[in-house]
């Protein structure tokens, strides 16, 4: 792999995690009590659990697309907001957190394993990875804001608190 491709690979991988831009995506739900994850502060359109499931939905979709499949796009935005406001149990919350983290790992793996410039569809693999990294970053910010509103910030890692 050329030096330029290594830099590109590292850049995309860091973007998927939010490294250098904001608290790492892997830390955004660390230390969140499962009951709190279903709480919607006054005026908030979504709970932490709903945001996490929305991110998972699109991460899973992107992995399928990167694998050469043609996953369908929901007819309406609401189709990518699966589930109820909160988990029914600690196990359900922990399962969602694991799926989120696994999705990040899968995306990073896809970033390293194939030609980023290949165009399996209207977009190149690089464009799709950029899109999902931007999407995740947007919702990571929402999760941080909700955690701040709920008095559950910063995460155990400390995160960025300014």
Q: Where residue 10 sits, what CATH number does that domain have? A: 1.20.120.450
Q: What is the arithmetic mean of pLDDT over 32-43? A: 95
pLDDT at residue 37 tops 60: yes
Output 79 or 17, whichever has higher pLDDT: 79
Is residue 162 domain-resident? Answer: no
Is residue 159 domain-resident? Answer: no
Domain of residue 100, residue span: 3-149
Is residue 141 domain-resident? Answer: yes
Q: What are the backbone dihedrals phi and psi of residue 144, each rounded to the nearest 5 degrees, phi first?
A: -60, -45
* Three-state SS at 10: helix
Q: What is the arithmetic mean of pLDDT over 19-32? A: 84
Q: Report residue 63's pLDDT band, with 50, 70 and 90 as the boundaries.
A: very high
Is residue 157 domain-resident? Answer: no
> What percent of the chain shows pLDDT beyond 70?
97
**4-19 tens-digit pLDDT:** 888 888 888 888 888 7
**104-155 tens-digit pLDDT:** 999 999 988 888 999 988 999 999 999 999 999 999 999 999 999 999 998 8
Q: How many domains does the chain have?
A: 1
Q: What is the arithmetic mean of pLDDT over 78-87? A: 91
pLDDT at residue 21 tops 80: no
Helix axes 48-66, 90-113, angle to 10 degrees: 30
Q: Look-up: residue for tokens 């709480």?
A: 39
Is residue 161 domain-resident? Answer: no
**Token pair for 70:** 């043609």
The closest of 145, 39, 137 to 93, measured between CA atoms, is 39
Is residue 44 domain-resident? Answer: yes
Q: What is the pLDDT of residue 156?
A: 85
pLDDT at residue 162 tops 60: no
pLDDT at residue 79 tops 80: yes
Asked if the bond preceding 105 is cis, omega within 30° of 0, the reply is no
Is residue 24 domain-resident? Answer: yes
Residue spans of beta strands (DSSP E) within 20-135: none
Is residue 80 domain-resident? Answer: yes
Q: What is the arithmetic mean of pLDDT over 61-81? A: 94
Output 4 or 56, whichever has higher pLDDT: 56
**Token pair for 41:** 């502060």
């Amino acid at each position: 792999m050329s030096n330029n491709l290594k830099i590109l690979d590292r850049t995309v991988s860091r973007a998927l995690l939010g490294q250098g831009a904001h608290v790492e995506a892997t830390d955004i739900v660390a230390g969140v009590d499962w009951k709190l994850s279903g709480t919607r502060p006054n005026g908030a359109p979504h709970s932490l659990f709903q945001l996490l499931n929305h991110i998972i939905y699109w991460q899973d979709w992107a992995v399928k697309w990167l694998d050469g499949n043609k996953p369908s796009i929901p007819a309406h935005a609401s189709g990518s907001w699966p589930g109820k406001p909160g988990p029914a149990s600690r196990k359900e919350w922990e399962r969602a957190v694991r799926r989120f983290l696994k999705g990040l790992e899968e995306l990073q793996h896809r970033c390293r394993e194939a030609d980023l410039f290949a165009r399996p569809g209207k977009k190149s693999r690089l464009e799709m990875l950029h899109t999902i990294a931007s999407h995740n970053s947007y919702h990571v910010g929402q999760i941080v804001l909700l955690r701040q509103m709920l008095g559950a910030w910063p995460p155990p890692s400390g995160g960025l608190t300014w």
